[in-house]
């Protein structure tokens, strides 16, 4: 198959969250994002979404830096010549260092277009087999423990298969003790977003008593060695998030014993192709994986659903229902969760229709790039 992209549209969207979302590195009340649309000669569109935040809290990438990378480097590379398979883009983009979220947004749009041209769901194009995926929910830091327990109660009642709570020094051991006392049998994990150091080892060891599924990224975002020192001291499995930006990072982490579980985020690792390679490595090494969330709108959420259909995604991910975050999402139908499961769509591509009216409502500005502009 040959994909000839005629033009690319970048749209800068701003969407208001239903409620503020607080982690150890900041509070979000709105989400800015870049929506990428690639259109071929027959007028078929593929859609991708940049998951970078407005400020460099999670990584060095931001919405503005992603726009710059897409406009000045990545879109011209994608338009330079025909594409036979989406995985070709990784090699084409390899001269550009890092900027994984920008790369993933454009590659994801091409994957969607590729699957549509094949007439198959994106999940099938990736090699996925599941018809339903298990999902959990991520809950930000709340004003009080009582507020947190109330939020958890609501999501447990809705059937979510796993609860993730954000922690930081001063909001950790006592909070988790209260949660575990109130919900003794709920699958529970904690996400530290790099809020600790090895000086906090006693505090981290205290978490063992709560029988967590894992503690996610307790130490520095670029670290593997200190995590390798910490893991033998804990009964709780360490899951790495920010530290894993590539296949090689995952390989080194498993070789060093830095973690027992890996969170795969498509944007963080540079696209669906690299996410699949990490999945395959972890499957071979016996390390379970799950799909993390970045407060995605519907397009990014649809890509997460597709990648989660691969067999080694054995732990519930963060792909909650659209209504968990938005009054109105940008896809139809919106992502729905029933009894902790999302039904994988079987329509070609991402399997959801992009609601252009809602996209227009949230769009702050846009720019079109034609093939002739880059020739």
More confidently predicted of 320 and 262: 262
Q: Which of 116, 164, 168, 265 is catalytic?
A: 265
Residues 171 and 206 in one domain: yes
Tell whether the model's pLDDT for residue 375 goes beyond 60. no
Residue 90 lies in a domain: yes
**pLDDT, tens digit, for every residue of 259-318?**
999 999 999 999 999 999 999 999 999 999 999 999 999 999 999 999 999 999 999 999
Residues 166 and 198 in one domain: yes
Residues 281 and 214 in one domain: yes
Q: Per DSSP, what are the bridge partners of residue 343?
A: 132
Residues 175 and 315 in one domain: yes
The predicted pLDDT at position 307 comes to 98
Number of domains in the chain: 2
User: Of 27-31, 206-210, 232-236, 252-256, which range is least confident?
Assistant: 27-31
Sign of the CA dihedral with 50 first, then 56, 61, and 66 last: positive
Residue 375 lies in a domain: no
Residue 310 lies in a domain: yes
The predicted pLDDT at position 24 comes to 65
Q: Which of 166, 168, 276, 367 is catalytic?
A: 166
Residue 253 lies in a domain: yes
Closest alpha carbon to 349 in 46, 31, 38, 23:
46
Residues 301 and 183 in one domain: yes
Q: Is 42 annotated as a binding residue?
A: no
Residue 311 lies in a domain: yes
pTM over 0.85: yes
Tell whether the model's pLDDT for residue 374 goes beyond 60. no
d(CA 260, CA 262): 7
Residues 112 and 142 in one domain: no
Tell whether the model's pLDDT for residue 23 goes beyond 90. no
Tell whether the model's pLDDT for residue 22 goes beyond 90. no
Residues 179 and 222 in one domain: yes
Residues 106 and 138 in one domain: no
Residue 86 lies in a domain: yes
**Domain of 306: which CATH number?**
3.20.20.120
Mean pLDDT of 85-94: 97
Instruction: Establish whether 276 is a catalytic residue.
Output: no
Residues 32 and 96 in one domain: yes
Parallel/antiparallel/unpaired status of strands 45-49 and 26-40? antiparallel
**Domain of 112: which CATH number?**
3.30.390.10
First-to-last C-alpha distance (Å) of the chain: 22
Could you count the other beta carbons within 10 Å of the beta carbon of residue 154? 12
The predicted pLDDT at position 352 comes to 98
The predicted pLDDT at position 324 comes to 87
Closest alpha carbon to 289 in 297, 281, 299:
281
Residue 247 lies in a domain: yes
**pLDDT, tens digit, for every residue of 332-359?**
999 999 999 999 999 999 999 999 999 9
Instruction: Establish whether 166 is a catalytic residue.
Output: yes
Q: Is 6 annotated as a binding residue?
A: no
Mean pLDDT of 250-262: 98
Residues 38 and 170 in one domain: no
Q: Which residue has the tokens 């329509």?
A: 347
Residues 184 and 244 in one domain: yes
* 222, two tokens: 């670029």
DSSP H or E stretch at residue 46:
strand 45-49
Residue 295 lies in a domain: yes
The predicted pLDDT at position 322 comes to 95
Q: Is 241 annotated as a binding residue?
A: yes
Tell whether the model's pLDDT for residue 25 goes beyond 70. no
The predicted pLDDT at position 373 comes to 56
Per the structure, the complete domain to which residue 233 belongs is given by 124-350
The predicted pLDDT at position 28 comes to 79
Tell whether the model's pLDDT for residue 160 goes beyond 90. yes
* Average pLDDT taken over every residue of the chain: 96
**pLDDT, tens digit, for every residue of 201-227?**
999 999 999 999 999 999 999 999 999
The predicted pLDDT at position 27 comes to 80
The predicted pLDDT at position 71 comes to 98
Cα–chain-centroid distance for residue 259?
19
Residues 103 and 167 in one domain: no
d(CA 49, CA 126): 18
């Amino acid at each position: 198959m040959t994909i000839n992209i005629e033009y690319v549209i970048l749209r800068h969207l701003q969407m208001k969250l239903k409620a503020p979302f607080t982690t150890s590195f900041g509070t979000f009340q709105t989400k800015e994002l870049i929506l990428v649309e690639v259109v071929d000669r027959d007028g078929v569109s593929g859609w991708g979404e940049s998951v970078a935040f407005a400020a460099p809290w999670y990584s060095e990438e931001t919405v503005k830096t992603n726009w710059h990378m897409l406009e000045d480097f990545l879109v011209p590379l994608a338009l330079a010549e025909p594409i036979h398979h989406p995985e070709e883009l990784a090699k084409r983009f390899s001269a550009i260092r890092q900027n994984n979220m920008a790369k993933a947004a454009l590659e994801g749009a091409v994957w969607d277009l590729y699957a549509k041209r094949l007439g198959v769901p994106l999940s099938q194009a990736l090699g996925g087999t599941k018809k339903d995926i298990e999902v959990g929910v991520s809950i930000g830091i709340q004003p009080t423990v009582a507020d947190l327990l109330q939020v958890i109660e609501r999501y447990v009642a809705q059937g979510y298969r796993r609860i993730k709570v954000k922690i930081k020094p001063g909001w950790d051991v006592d909070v988790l003790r209260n949660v575990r006392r109130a919900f003794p049998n709920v699958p529970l994990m904690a996400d530290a977003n790099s809020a600790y150091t090895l000086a906090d080892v006693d505090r981290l060891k205290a978490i063992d008593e709560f029988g967590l599924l894992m503690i996610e990224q307790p130490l520095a975002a670029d670290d593997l060695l200190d995590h390798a020192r910490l893991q033998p001291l804990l009964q709780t499995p360490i899951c790495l998030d920010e530290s894993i930006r590539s296949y090689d990072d995952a390989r080194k982490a498993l070789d060093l014993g830095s973690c027992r579980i890996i969170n795969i985020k498509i944007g963080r690792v540079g696209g669906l192709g690299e996410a699949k390679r990490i999945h395959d490595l972890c499957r071979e090494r016996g390390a379970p994986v799950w799909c993390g969330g970045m407060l995605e709108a519907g397009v990014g959420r649809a890509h997460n659903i597709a990648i989660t259909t691969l067999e080694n995604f054995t732990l519930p991910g963060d792909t909650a229902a659209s209504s968990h975050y938005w009054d109105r999402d940008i896809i139809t139908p919106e992502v729905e969760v029933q009894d902790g499961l999302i039904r994988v769509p079987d329509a070609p591509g991402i399997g959801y229709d992009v609601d252009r009216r809602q996209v227009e409502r949230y769009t702050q500005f846009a720019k079109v790039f034609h093939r002739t502009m880059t020739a």
